[in-house]
């Protein structure tokens, strides 16, 4: 089998998190608390928030969702974030993206106290990552590294190609691979001749939101392929990689669903633990 099984890996890691939560609760008298702030009723956001609630419950983290209508003003949302920063019982917080267009997301994210920023998206945590001083890391790239490490993937001297350059996934992903000794190429929507880059990849990570972007002929035989994409097509979830074609060439490949998604949630739970432990040191 050449599958990077995120579901199975996340499941095995959850047992570790659960045990650690139990031990921390005994020591400190309460479990770690995660607050997710959800604005509006975007179906994808509601589904992500639901899976965070479920995962928190499974591992014993106190997961709370605060819901606001999409008419909330930026000042009101900022006020909520500042209150959560001050709340001693809250260890980690997430403001679920995307936010309505009348709200400046960067402004909101940058007011989350860095030690509670379990999505790792504030400029402080992003800046730390850029300087190889890790604070809280963005959950998706962290989860991808946890999955690759679990399958004992070697990075040093490997050619790693990341397709997608967002602040959320592609850009931090490239930094993490670079820091582990891979040689990095980052491709994006303006890249000319995408295939000429992807064909050279020993490790290929794709995070674009473009269905079927990566076809079999664009991948080197024996490559390790990570598909971060989550796209809804005819009621089904598919990635950015044509799985049937690419699995014939890849040494290891993530399925969608069941690959990066569960690892993202898992990495988030680890971040909440880390935030809790940092506050109690």
| Residues noted as catalytic | 52, 96, 119
Any contact of residue 207 with ligand NAD (CB under 6 A)? yes
Q: Using the rule CB under 6 A, which residue among 49, 108, 162, 213 binds ligand NAD?
A: 213
DSSP 33: E
Any contact of residue 230 with ligand NAD (CB under 6 A)? yes
Site string for ligand NAD, 231-270 (x = CB under 6 A): x----------------------------xx--x------
Any contact of residue 166 with ligand NAD (CB under 6 A)? yes
**CA atoms of 208 and 206, how far apart (whole Å):** 6
Nearer to ligand NAD, 24 or 238 (CB): 238
Any contact of residue 199 with ligand NAD (CB under 6 A)? no
Contact predicate 14/54, CB 8 Å: no
Strand partners of residue 199: none
Nearer to ligand NAD, 45 or 110 (CB): 45
Q: Using the rule CB under 6 A, which residue among 3, 113, 210, 237 binds ligand NAD?
A: 210
Q: Using the rule CB under 6 A, which residue among 21, 168, 204, 205 binds ligand NAD?
A: 168
**CA atoms of 246 and 216, how far apart (whole Å):** 4
Q: Describe the crossing of helices 260-280 and 139-150 by its angle, rounded to 10 degrees.
A: 110
**CA atoms of 10 and 175, how far apart (whole Å):** 23
**CA atoms of 141 and 138, how far apart (whole Å):** 6
**CA atoms of 173 and 104, how far apart (whole Å):** 24
Q: Using the rule CB under 6 A, which residue among 189, 222, 278, 280 binds ligand NAD?
A: 189
- Ranges within 102-131 binding ligand NAD (CB under 6 A): none
Contacts of 16 (CB under 8 A, 6+ apart): none
The helix (run of H) or strand (run of E) holding residue 25 is: helix 6-28
Any contact of residue 165 with ligand NAD (CB under 6 A)? yes
- Which residues are at the interface with ligand NAD (CB under 6 A)? 140, 163-166, 168-170, 187-189, 191, 194, 207-210, 213, 228-231, 260-261, 264
């Amino acid at each position: 089998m050449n599958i990077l099984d995120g579901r199975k890996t996340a499941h095995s890691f959850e047992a570790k998190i659960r045990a650690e939560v139990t031990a921390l609760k005994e020591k400190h008298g309460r479990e770690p608390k995660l607050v997710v702030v959800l604005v509006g009723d975007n179906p994808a956001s509601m589904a992500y928030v639901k899976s965070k609630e479920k995962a928190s419950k499974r591992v014993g983290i106190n997961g709370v969702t605060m819901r606001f209508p999409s008419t909330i003003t930026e000042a009101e949302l900022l006020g909520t974030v500042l209150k959560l920063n001050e709340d001693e019982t809250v260890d980690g917080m997430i403001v679920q993206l995307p936010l309505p267009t009348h709200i400046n997301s960067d402004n909101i994210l940058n007011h989350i106290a860095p030690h509670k920023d379990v999505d790792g998206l504030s400029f402080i945590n992003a800046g730390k990552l850029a300087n190889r001083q890790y604070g809280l890391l963005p959950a998706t790239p962290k989860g991808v590294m946890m999955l690759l490490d679990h399958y004992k993937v070697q990075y040093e001297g490997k050619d790693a190609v990341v397709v997608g350059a967002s602040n959320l996934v592609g850009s931090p992903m490239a930094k993490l691979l670079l820091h582990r000794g891979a040689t990095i190429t980052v491709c994006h929507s303006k890249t000319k001749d995408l295939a000429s880059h992807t064909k050279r990849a020993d490790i290929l990570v794709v995070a674009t939101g473009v269905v079927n972007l990566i076809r079999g002929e664009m991948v080197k035989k024996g490559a390790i392929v990570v598909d971060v994409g989550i796209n809804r097509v005819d009621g089904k979830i598919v990635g950015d990689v044509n799985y049937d074609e690419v699995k014939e060439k890849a040494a290891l490949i993530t399925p969608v669903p069941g690959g990066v998604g569960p690892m993202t949630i898992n990495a988030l739970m680890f971040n909440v633990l880390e935030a809790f432990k940092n506050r109690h040191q």
